């Protein structure tokens, strides 16, 4: 039970690897966790620095006498390596005139984009589909290849093919669309984790018309916060893909993810970090995204495995997600929803523990990250979010530290039942926020009471 922990050093006694060298490796893991879970975000380790930590580089294992442990640890790190990775994350940057590293991408456009023209597509009768009641009655279960001439056309949004012809003005990224309304509403940014909130849309055998492809659903793979995902074959192609469908009520999250992944997928040296988006389109009132087909989420794998991961296995996952977060930081993007369900194994049988970061529907440009409202799953929520302190990309590092500890302990380090207990365990294991944080946090009074000395 994680509630019985009194300090992160208790990890050493929960280790299922009693060998001395495993003990040393676990100590290095704990040291990295302490730096990732610093309650002060300003002091929290940066992803790029974490990649240089001895636990990741295995520097502390160089002179060990246990050759088997070293060989096994090296094997695990080598097995997930990807042939397309030719550079480190630092190649994303180019030196400016001052010799400083700056992202080689243009984020100059800061104005908000009106997404209405993207989602209010036109039917063949010329009626706005967002206003057509008949569209809501259309069932996606019939074969569109047998449909009548009055059926809805397929309308591309930000498909990989069509985006190439977009003007440079349209290709700029704006991740703030979900927050165009009054940001003072503290409920904005919260979202349901109940998969039943989205009715079933996809069924095996169902046919879907894309931009230039016809998909047939083979198997529904699962349900998420905003929609569901199915494995589909493409007519006339020897190719299987993942197709994600969302209702129009989640159009902002849909647009967020499309825009973010289009940007990330252009970084050819870092395509191994992020799920590949192949296409996106609307069909019969629903929003679709075509992705590369990956294996399974880390959450599902962990549940099926029925046992904790070895520190050497955790190291492999940590290295890859830290690299992904390093790229996001350089681009000025905060994911805000790093958790086990949003890390996918690519092909665990062929490349064990090779993973990719997915689900960018809740991502933001860091400079526009909402400073009010609830974000992040509570089990992985950074204390600055709960206490009403300034937020930046450091919240993603905190989330990663939480999920890495869960892989080792078989339980989340911090309770997810309520915020009070969550903060109580954070302070028990990591210490109390300093006076400056307690004075400045807008929500501190919900959890702390000042004594007579202030």
| Annotated binding-site members | 244
Active-site residue (options: 25, 174, 279, 337): 337
Determine the Cα–Cα distance for residues 81 and 369; give it in Å rounded to an integer: 33
| Phi, psi (deg, nearest 5) at residue 230 | -135, 150
Q: Of 267, 286, 288, which Cα lies nearest the Cα of 276?
A: 267
Record the tokens describing residue 246, joined without a space. Answer: 């969302």
For tokens 């526009």, the residue is: 368
What is residue 40's DSSP assignment? S
Residue 307: CB atoms within 10 A of its CB come to 8
**Interior CA angle at 277 toward 181 and 191, to 5°?**
35
Compute CA 241 distance to the chain's CA centroid, rounded to the nearest angstrom: 20
**How many Å is the maximal CA-CA distance in the chain?**
77
Is 40 considered catalytic here? no
- With b for 16 or more beta-carbon neighbours within 10 A and e for fewer, the 268-280 pattern comes to eebbbbbbbbbbb
The two three-digit tokens of residue 331, written as one number: 């681009």
Tell me which DSSP letter residue 156 carries.
Answer: E
Binding residues for ATP: 244
Q: Do 353 and 313 form a contact (C-beta atoms < 8 A)?
A: yes
Say whether 408 sits in a helix, a strand or coil.
Answer: helix
Q: How far is CA 17 from the centre of its chain?
A: 30
Element (H, E) at 329: helix 311-331
Interatomic CA distance for residues 326 and 361, integer angstroms: 19
Upper half-sphere CA count for residue 369 (Cβ side, 13 Å) = 23
Q: Which of helix, strand or coil describes residue 451?
A: coil
Alpha carbons 244 and 222: distance in angstroms, whole number: 10
Q: Strand, coil or helix: what is 339?
A: coil
Tokens of 254: 């849909």
Specify whether the CB–CB gap between 251 and 158 falls below 8 A: no
Question: So which residues are the catalytic ones?
Answer: 337
């Amino acid at each position: 039970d994680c509630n019985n922990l009194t300090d992160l050093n208790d990890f050493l006694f929960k280790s299922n690897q009693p060998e001395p060298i495993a003990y040393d490796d676990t100590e290095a893991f704990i040291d990295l966790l302490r730096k990732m879970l610093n309650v002060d975000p300003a002091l929290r380790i940066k992803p790029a620095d974490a990649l240089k930590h001895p636990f990741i580089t295995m520097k502390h294992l160089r002179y060990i006498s246990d050759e088997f442990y070293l060989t096994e640890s090296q094997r695990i790190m080598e097995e997930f390596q990807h042939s397309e990775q030719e550079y480190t994350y630092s190649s994303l940057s180019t030196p400016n005139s001052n010799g400083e590293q700056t992202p080689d991408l243009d984020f100059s456009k800061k104005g908000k984009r009106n997404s209405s023209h993207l989602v209010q597509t036109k039917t063949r009768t010329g009626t706005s589909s967002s206003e057509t009641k008949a569209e809501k009655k259309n069932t996606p279960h019939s074969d569109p290849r047998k449909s009548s001439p009055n059926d809805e056309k397929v309308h591309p949004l930000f498909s990989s093919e069509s985006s190439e012809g977009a003007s440079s003005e349209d290709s700029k990224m704006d991740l703030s669309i979900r927050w165009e309304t009054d940001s003072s509403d503290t409920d904005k940014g919260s979202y349901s984790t109940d998969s039943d909130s989205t009715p079933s849309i996809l069924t095996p055998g169902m046919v879907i018309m894309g931009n230039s492809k016809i998909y047939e659903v083979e198997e529904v793979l699962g349900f998420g916060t905003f929609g569901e995902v199915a494995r589909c074959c493409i007519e006339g192609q020897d190719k299987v893909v993942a197709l994600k469908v969302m209702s129009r009520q989640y159009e902002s999250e849909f647009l967020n993810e499309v825009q973010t992944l289009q940007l990330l997928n252009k970084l050819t040296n870092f395509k191994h970090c992020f799920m590949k988006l192949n296409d996106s389109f609307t069909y019969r009132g629903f929003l679709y995204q075509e992705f590369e087909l990956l294996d399974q989420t880390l959450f599902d794998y962990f549940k099926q495995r029925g046992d904790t991961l070895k520190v050497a296995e955790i190291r492999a996952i940590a290295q890859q997600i830290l690299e992904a977060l390093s790229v996001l930081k350089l681009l000025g993007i905060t994911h805000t929803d790093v958790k086990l369900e949003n890390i996918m194994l690519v092909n665990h049988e062929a490349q064990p523990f090779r993973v990719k970061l997915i689900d960018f529907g809740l991502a933001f440009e860091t400079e526009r990250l909402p400073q009010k409202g609830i974000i992040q799953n509570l089990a992985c929520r950074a204390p600055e979010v709960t206490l009403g302190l300034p937020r930046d990309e450091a919240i993603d590092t905190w989330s990663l530290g939480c999920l890495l500890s869960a892989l080792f302990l078989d339980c989340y380090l911090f309770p997810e039942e309520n915020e009070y207990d969550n903060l109580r365990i954070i302070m028990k294991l990591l210490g109390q926020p300093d006076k400056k944080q307690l004075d400045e946090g807008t929500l501190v009074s919900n959890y702390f009471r000042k004594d007579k000395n202030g």
